[in-house]
Structure 1
Amino acid sequence: MDKSQQRLDDILEKLRKRDCRITPQRLAILQVFLHTDQHPSVEQVYNQVRTQFPTTSLATVYKTVTLLKEIGEILEIGFADGRSHYDGNKPYPHPHLICTRCHRIIDPDISLLDQLTSEVAKATGYQITSHQVELFGLCPACQKK
């Protein structure tokens, strides 16, 4: 069994334990998050799911996103203007690099964050339970424009 199928099975088991119905629409929403390296908004997920299930409502997508956040299977990336995007590949705290022009979001591979978290905890006495690191700049494509 490949990694994505195992993750899907694990998420479905979590949903069943909460007595949630596994509808075709809910499964399609989940598949969007599991099969993209992008960080889609609810509206982007909605548009993708509607190609397969035209009667799916935006409310269904919002409810499913809320549920997936509650069970820790997607990570919300909020913006100051109220917009949110979601990360279904890495549903745990990790840094995001965000282009200020095109709004592309990527997950940079950096290893210093664990060291930083430990250093902050040691220096302050805090027990760090979560973090959110967002780095803003211009992506290479926007720099060329």
Structure 2
Amino acid sequence: MTSESETTEKMTAALRKAGIRVTRQRIALLGVLAEATDHPDAVELHERAKAIEPSVSLATVYRTLSVLEEGGVVHRHAFEGGGARFETTHEEHHDHILDVDTGEVIEFQSDKIEQLQDEIARELGYEVVHHRLELYCRKKT
């Protein structure tokens, strides 16, 4: 797992590489992204960044997220039933469970699932190069 400061440095480098100025507003957004433990959408990120730097605009959030996604340092998730949600790429590979009643996103990692996916791909003559697994669930009552 990468530290928040290393994550922020990677995002800053991605912005500079894309020719985007690293302003106070963007620094606030990068800090919010680096410390997020959930999967916030752009509006949530905007609200959190504005609490740090009131001049952050929603347009800046969208533009910055787009550049960070293109730079491979932020993942955009388009979970069913909602808008895009974001997370940094500093985490090791994981999959997601989405609680269909609360909207909560739970990260999990399963060696069994990873091995089964590799086995299935291999049986069909393929090698897994990337995958994304989302389970839409409801808590048992």
Amino acid paired to 2:96: H
Amino acid paired to 2:95: P
User: Does structure 2 conserve the Cα–Cα contact (< 8 Å) formed by 1:36 and 1:89?
Assistant: no
Q: Deviations over 1:21-79 (max 9, x none)?
A: 11111121111111021010111001111222223221111111111111111111113
Instruction: State the shift of 1:9 in Å.
Output: 1.8
Please give the residue correspondences for 1:82-121 in structure 2 after superposition, counting only pairs within 5 Å.
83-88=83-88, 90=90, 94-121=94-121
Partner residue of 1:136?
Answer: 136
User: Does structure 1 conserve the Cα–Cα contact (< 8 Å) formed by 2:100 and 2:136?
Assistant: yes
Q: CA RMSD in A?
A: 2.3
Q: For this pair of structures, how many residues does the alignment match?
A: 140
Scaled by the length of structure 1, the TM-score of the pair is: 0.82
Scaled by the length of structure 2, the TM-score of the pair is: 0.84
State percent identity of aligned pairs. Answer: 26
Q: CA 1:42–1:94 in 2, change beyond 3 Å: closer, same or farther?
A: same
Q: CA 1:67–1:3 in 2, change beyond 3 Å: closer, same or farther?
A: same
Please give the residue correspondences for 1:15-54 in structure 2 after superposition, counting only pairs within 5 Å.
15-54=15-54
Q: Distance in 1 between matches of 2:92 and 2:117?
A: 14
Q: CA 1:92–1:68 in 2, change beyond 3 Å: closer, same or farther?
A: farther
Instruction: State the shift of 1:90 in Å.
Output: 4.6
Q: Which moved more, 1:129-138 or 1:14-23?
A: 14-23
Q: CA 1:15–1:55 in 2, change beyond 3 Å: closer, same or farther?
A: closer
1:80 maps onto 2:73 in alignment: no
